[in-house]
Structure 1
Amino acid sequence: MAREIAVFVGNNGSTAALGEPGKVIVYRRQQGKWQPVSEAVLQLDPTSGMAGVRQQLAAMIEFIGRCRVFVARAVSGLLYKELEQAGFSIWEFDGRPLEFLEYILIQEELAARQPAPLKAVTPTVVETGPGCYQVSLKELQQSGTGMTSKQVLQPLLNGNFYLVEVLCGHIPPWLEADWACGKFDCTAERAADGVKLTIKKKSCGEYNEQANLD
């Protein structure tokens, strides 16, 4: 496999959430070291609507070239879906590229050597009341197969929910980022078998188009 990884970074040199101001840097592993081989400034403009953002993202994908590993601090909504449909392996890391590039390469190479995937793990979402749900992500996080935590939770969090209770081995980075941005009222407590999250919607109503780009 090609030893190239594309990373979206902010002005401080650390990863940024895709959609924030920053630039895409393509790194290549050469003679045992990671070197940047190309970079381009990227500022997605949500005011251009979904069609405009798709065009901007398509230009970024064309710039990246054959590389199909993409890293950012957070990737969500339409952006995640578009990259996934383009065949990218998407990683969410908070830090500077040289701190995690080698780890990601090793994991990607190990995954490429794996036999056919095991039976998919699909967590069961239980509705405990009107707009109230419970779901456990522990088995999914431990197995590394099946759906991602984002695929399980985002349909709930983008819908007309009141409360979602989540049991997990660790808090997913993308959800931690949304929590830090104040998108939800969220509490976490340690449990004997993991971490219990209680997520409440801050306000009811429809999401506007711009929110769907986040």
Structure 2
Amino acid sequence: MVREIAVFVGDNGSTAALTEPGRVIVYQRQQGKWKPVREILFSLERSLGMPEVRRQLAAMLEALGNCRVFVARTVSGLLYKELEQAGFSIWEFAGQPSSFLEYILVQEEFTVRQPATLQAVIPASMETEPGCYQVSLKEIQQSGSGLTSKQVLQPLLNGNFYCIEVVCSHIPPWLEAECACGRFDCKVERLAEGIKLVIKKQICG
């Protein structure tokens, strides 16, 4: 069970890019409410070179203890790789932690509950160019295998991407909700063989 979620925030309390100065607040769910239990100041000194960046990141990860869920507005490059190799589940959200902590908890626990046998038959995505992926949901939507669209797409949507093209027979309701709440930009194209969704991350300005 997910007990703690680490969120990187700026001075205004909203999520910040991990390359910006800020602090990591570790939230713990206690009696149905999320409470901050510890705080770690974090500001990368890129001018000192990659060894120093790795040292700073390693110190921050050590301070997180057993927490293995990390949220920031954006995480990319070496920072994403280091977090991934350390076993973190990485999420990118814009806004106040109170707006997404419960959602992340539900999604993380949903993933943990999935049988390993289902994961073996998840359709593979194809990376057409750096950060751009294509995947088809039509087979699982028509087969009744028990595999869900969320199991296929969630790992991609939680990762570091620019664009995901999804071919499907119908738009999954949960994905419509994600786009409607502004987490992603989604464009719909009608094809002879179904629907193509083009999903991009919202750009925060």
TM-score by length of 1: 0.66
Alpha carbons of 1:51 and 1:6: their partners in 2 closer, same or farther (altered >3 Å)?
A: same
Alpha carbons of 1:37 and 1:48: their partners in 2 closer, same or farther (altered >3 Å)?
A: same
Gaps of 5+ in 2: 138-147, 180-185, 201-205
Determine helix, strand or coil for the equivalent of 1:18. coil
Specify the alignment match of 2:6 in structure 1. 6
Please give the residue correspondences for 1:65-80 in structure 2 after superposition, counting only pairs within 5 Å.
Answer: 65-80=65-80
Distance 2:66 2:92 in 1: 20
Alpha carbons of 1:105 and 1:67: their partners in 2 closer, same or farther (altered >3 Å)?
A: same
Partner AA of 1:29 in structure 2: R
Determine which structure has greater relative contact order: mean sequence separation of CA pairs < 8 Å that are 6+ residues apart, divided by chain length: 1
Contact 2:71–2:92, Cα closer than 8 Å, also in 1 = yes
Gaps of 5+ in 1: 128-133, 155-164, 174-187, 199-214
Q: Shift of residue 23 of structure 1?
A: 0.5
Alpha carbons of 1:126 and 1:19: their partners in 2 closer, same or farther (altered >3 Å)?
A: closer
Partner AA of 2:156 in structure 1: T
Alpha carbons of 1:11 and 1:106: their partners in 2 closer, same or farther (altered >3 Å)?
A: same
Alpha carbons of 1:108 and 1:100: their partners in 2 closer, same or farther (altered >3 Å)?
A: same
Specify the alignment match of 1:119 in structure 2. 121
TM-score by length of 2: 0.68
Asked if 1:167 is matched to 2:169, the reply is no
Q: Deviations over 1:120-140 (max 9, x none)?
A: 43233558xxxxxx852454x
Alpha carbons of 1:96 and 1:151: their partners in 2 closer, same or farther (altered >3 Å)?
A: closer
Distance 1:49 1:7 in 2: 25
Specify the alignment match of 1:92 in structure 2. 92
- What percentage of aligned pairs have identical amino acids? 52
Distance 1:197 1:69 in 2: 23
Specify the alignment match of 1:136 in structure 2. 134
Alpha carbons of 1:41 and 1:32: their partners in 2 closer, same or farther (altered >3 Å)?
A: same
Specify the alignment match of 2:156 in structure 1. 148
Contact 1:17–1:72, Cα closer than 8 Å, also in 2 = yes
Alpha carbons of 1:145 and 1:7: their partners in 2 closer, same or farther (altered >3 Å)?
A: same
Contact 2:125–2:134, Cα closer than 8 Å, also in 1 = yes
Distance 1:145 1:153 in 2: 15
Distance 1:49 1:33 in 2: 40
Q: Deviations over 1:140-161 (max 9, x none)?
A: x94534863687968xxxxxxx
* Aligned-residue CA RMSD (Å): 3.6
